[in-house]
Every structure is written in C-alpha cells, then in structure tokens.
Amino acid sequence: MSLLIGNVITNDELTQTFGCSTQGGMRRSNKTNTLVLVSNHVKSIYHDRWVDNVLHYTGMGTEGDQSLSFSQNRTLAESNFNGVTVHLFEVFEDQKYTYQGVVKLAGTPYQEEQLDSNNTARKVFVFPLVKQDGSAPIPIDREHFDAISKKVATKVSKLSDEEIAERARNAHTRAGQRQTISTSYERNPFVMRYAKIRAKGICQLCDQPAPFRTKDGEPYLETHHIEWLSKGGTDTIENTVALCPNCHRKMHIVNDKQDRLKLKEKRKSNE
C-alpha cells in the first residue's frame, strides 16, 4: 500500500502495510525495519502536543515512571542512527489513522510529569519529533480539536483542587499549537434579521431583555439555529431564534433537550 501524507487508513491497513502489531502507540516491525508511532488523541492517556511544528511525543509505559532504555523508547531514542525509519499516525476519530509521514528526533528526549492510567502523577519521557520533509502537521477538523480539548478537561476535572493547583503552577510555558479547519455556513440574512425582529429585544430562552444595545441603538441578540446547521438543521425562520450571548453560548455547550423544546414552542407562539 502506497501512503501519502494525509491519507486516512484503518488499523488493519496500517498493520498490513508495516507488518507491525495491531495495538499500542509504538509498534516496531523487524520485517519492514520501521517504528510506527500512533498519537491517539481519542483514547490515549498521554499528552502529546505540537509546538512550532515539533511534536512532543510521550514514550511507552502506561503506569509508573517511564524508562528511556525500555523497549521502543530505546528504539526511538536511537532512531537517528540505528537505521529504523519512524512513521507517524494521528487518531482524531476512533479507528481512523491519519498519516503524517516520516519523522525524526529534533532533540534530546526529556522528562516531564504526566498522569498514568490510574490518574497518578509519574515521570514520562517526551520525544521532540519533526516531520522529515520539514512540513507542518496537516490541519485537523475544528470539531475534532474541540472534542480532544473537552476530553482533556474532563480528565483534569476528576483531580483534587490541590493536584490541579500543583500542576497549574508547573504547567508548560508554551501552549500547544494546531491548525484547524472549520466549516462556515452562509446564513440567510433575511432569516437572521426576521428572527431578531420577531424576538422584539427579548431573549427567547431566558425571557430577559437584551443585555445591551448596539451603537445603532438596537437590542443586542444573536441568532441561533435550534437544530444546528452542522447537524442537518435548516436555515429557515422555523428553525431560527434570537438569544442573548449567555443563552447562545449555553445552547452550544449544553444544548439541553428541554431548552430546545422551549425554543421550538416559543418560535411557534411568535408566528
């Protein structure tokens, strides 16, 4: 199978192509003299991140402190001179492996503190990697990026306040960076305007007046599609309401079923 950067393949196809194991984040193949790295942002406990086109990739070992001489950690640490070709895949959706290309070490592996599979602090080894062709990582869908961020936040929320405070004080000074792709919808301006006219300056969810007025003196409300356009909702007056900024944000974070029902009823009563 001929792979191009950006190709998305299954785990079976990956295994067949490289002759490696079906599991794990570091898969050595003697048959093809390769080391396949999988940065799984969906299921992995590791905190892999891109900074200035360098992937800081966490080594092997899910519990306790990691060792640089352990198994494929050693293979990767020596990969710039041991003749093993290192291939990188990333997973943003379950069972979909996105090929990033051949990578190489860009510096000396270093240690940092991360949580293991039991949510216990331990020392891991992090490998700074760059793509061999010098290119940036391919952009990912904004929805996938947001889902990954939500997963990390959920994991952190399970720690005690003291643990969170300690990790916050010792956090990385450089934030991870990733180019994302988002889909924008060209909303009908007449539908948007009509939703605001129909609301008469009152948020259709909390029933409170708009929090402020614009420079033109109009009540500030934002249009919202009850059934999201990204989920197949229609750009029609039947599916569009006007909300205050807080309620609009709430609908995009919580999207509560009862709130949706209220908005549908409110929209009908305003017809």
- Residue 197 clears pLDDT 90, i.e. is over it: yes
**pLDDT tens string 17-37:** 999 999 999 999 999 999 999
Q: What would the mean pLDDT of 111-125 be, rounded to a whole number?
A: 84
Q: Same CATH fold, 189-266 and 8-181? A: no
Q: What would the mean pLDDT of 123-132 be, rounded to a whole number?
A: 95
Q: What is the CATH number of domain 8-181?
A: 2.30.280.10
Going by pLDDT thresholds of 50, 70 and 90, the confidence category of residue 270 is low
Range with the lowest mean pLDDT among 88-92, 147-151, 212-216?
147-151
DSSP E strand stretches across 106-250: 110-115, 121-131, 140-141, 180-181, 222-225, 240-243
Going by pLDDT thresholds of 50, 70 and 90, the confidence category of residue 178 is confident
Going by pLDDT thresholds of 50, 70 and 90, the confidence category of residue 173 is low
Q: What would the mean pLDDT of 156-184 be, rounded to a whole number?
A: 75
The token duo for 21 is 């194991």
Contact in structure between 263 and 226 (CB atoms under 8 Å): yes
The structure's pTM equals 0.71
The token duo for 221 is 């409300």
Q: What would the mean pLDDT of 120-126 be, rounded to a whole number?
A: 89
Q: What would the mean pLDDT of 206-214 be, rounded to a whole number?
A: 96
Mean pLDDT of the chain: 89
Bridge partners for 123 per DSSP: 113
**Which is more confidently placed, 47 or 254?**
254
Please name the residues in contact with 240: beta carbons below 8 A apart, sequence gap of 6 or more: 191, 192, 194, 195, 223, 224, 225, 226, 267
Of the ranges 33-37, 150-154, 164-168, which is most confident? 33-37
- Residue 44 clears pLDDT 90, i.e. is over it: no
Q: What would the mean pLDDT of 90-105 be, rounded to a whole number?
A: 93
- Residue 229 clears pLDDT 70, i.e. is over it: yes
Domain segments of the chain: what residues? 8-181, 189-266
Going by pLDDT thresholds of 50, 70 and 90, the confidence category of residue 100 is very high
Q: What would the mean pLDDT of 129-152 be, rounded to a whole number?
A: 85
SS3 for 139? coil
pLDDT above 90 covers what percent of the chain?
A: 62
Burial 258-267 (b: 16+ CB within 10 A, else e): ebeebbeebb
* Architecture in CATH for domain 189-266: Orthogonal Bundle (1.10)
